Amino acid sequence: MLVLALAAPPAQAEEGLVPTSVVGDAIPESLTGAPGDAARGRAIVVDRIRGLCLLCHAGPFPEERFQGNLAPDLTGVGGRLSPGQLRLRLVDGRALNPETIMPSYYNLAGLARVGRAWQGRPILSAAEIEDVVAFLATLREAGPEKSR
């Protein structure tokens, strides 16, 4: 089995971030060494100030109005992507798509146009990344067909 590491630099411990190892299209190891809490992860995903996910993504959140349509729907994402694949997309989606508009939630390297409040710190902590991964992994149902 051939394993390729992507060109994205790993987060550096001296920056206060847990080092990560990209294997193929995933970060297979938990950033905390423990599983996240899906309920806390859901709260982050629907929080329009903390997670910001629904600005671009829609999903199975009927109580949330004005969900985004710029990025893939989160419905069923846990059935399409492994926890490691989800983790890489959250940590730094640029590893998979250098042109992505998705924020790097847990990487400080190579960022441009970072707001003053966010300079020198990640958007989400390692534990919060694991919480979001735990929640997204529960979204396994495809959901109803959406008309366009």
The model's pLDDT over 112-127, given as tens digits with 9 standing for 90+, comes to 777 787 788 899 999 9
The string of DSSP codes covering the chain is ------SSPPPPGGGTS-----BTTB--S-SSSS---HHHHHHHHH-TTTT-GGGT---S-TT--S---SS---TTHHHHS-HHHHHHHHHHGGGT-TT--S--TT--TT--S--GGGTTS-SS-HHHHHHHHHHHHH-----S----
Over residues 2-26, the mean pLDDT reads 64
Integer Cα distance of 131 and 45 in angstroms: 10
pLDDT of residue 147: 39
Q: What is the pLDDT of residues 71-108, one digit of tens each?
A: 999 999 999 999 999 999 999 999 999 999 998 999 98
Quick one: residue 24, left, alpha or beta (phi over 0 = left, psi -120 to 50 = alpha)? Answer: left
What φ, ψ does residue 87 adopt, rounded to 5°?
Answer: -60, -45
- The stretch 24-38 carries a mean pLDDT of 97
Report the pLDDT averaged over residues 125-130.
97
Measure the CA–CA gap between 52 and 71, rounded to whole angstroms.
12
Average pLDDT over residues 126-134: 98
* CA pair distance 8, 21, nearest whole angstrom: 10
pTM above 0.75, yes or no: yes
